[in-house]
Amino acid sequence: MCCLAKEAIGTEHPYSSIPQRNVFALNAYVPPEPVCRSKPVCPLSITGFVKRGDESTRVLLASRPKEPKEVMRYYKLSEGETDDGVKVVRIGSKQESVELVVDGEPVVLTVQSNSFAIGK
């Protein structure tokens, strides 16, 4: 009986017959289609600017979590620095705007339209 079982299975993977029998009405995995957005949503807000001594000006950013249980992420970056997919390209001369690259997408944040406020 043991020899018959080995011959029936052969060299195939031991679980390869499960989808063929389909006892639980399993379907083949179909990956979800990518969601296309017309305009990328930037979850970052400007919280301020810092310049100490001789070091360059740094922008302070906060990311808005998508779900309430997620933790906010904070960034302190100067021009040319990158952290977690966020790169600062240029900080405006009067500290009114910041040019970023977020996950490969160029984004411009301004103090008037992208400042972080409580309750926002």
Question: What are the sequence ranges of the domains in the chain?
Answer: 44-114
Place of tokens 């360059």: 56
More confident residue, 77 or 25: 77
Name the band, by pLDDT with cuts 50, 70 and 90, for residue 96. confident
Name the band, by pLDDT with cuts 50, 70 and 90, for residue 87. very high
Torsion of CA 81, 83, 87, 92, to 10 degrees: -60
pLDDT at 33 over 60: yes
Cross-strand partners of 35: none
